[in-house]
Structure 1
Amino acid sequence: MVFDVGFAFNDSNFSDRVLRIEITTDPPPNSDIAATANAYQVRHGKRKREDEETTVEGLPSVANNDDSTVKTLHINSLILAVKSTFFLKLFSNGMRESEQRHVTLKINASEEASLMELLNFMYRNSLNMLDVVVAADKFGVSSCMRYCTNLLLNSPMTPDSALLYLDLPHSVLMADTFQPLANAAKKYLAGRYKDITKFEEEVMAFPICGIEAILASNELEVESEDDVYDFVLKWARQHYNRPEERRVNL
Structure 2
Amino acid sequence: MKAAVIVFPGSNCDRDLAVAFERAGADVTRVWHKETDLPEGVDVVGIPGGFSYGDYLRCGAIAAQSPICRAVVRHTERGGYALGICNGFQVLTEARMLPGVLMRNAGLKFLCRTVGLTVGAQSEFTAGYGEAAEIALPIAHHDGNYRADAETLDRLEGEGRVAFRYTDNPNGSDRDIAGILSENRRVLGMMPHPERAVDAGHGATDGQPLFAHLVGALAPA
TM-score range, shorter chain: under 0.3
More strand by share: 2
TM-score in terms of structure 2 length: 0.25
Q: TM-score, normalised by structure 1?
A: 0.23
Q: Which has the higher helix share?
A: 1
**Structure of higher RCO (CA pairs closer than 8 Å, 6+ residues apart):** 2
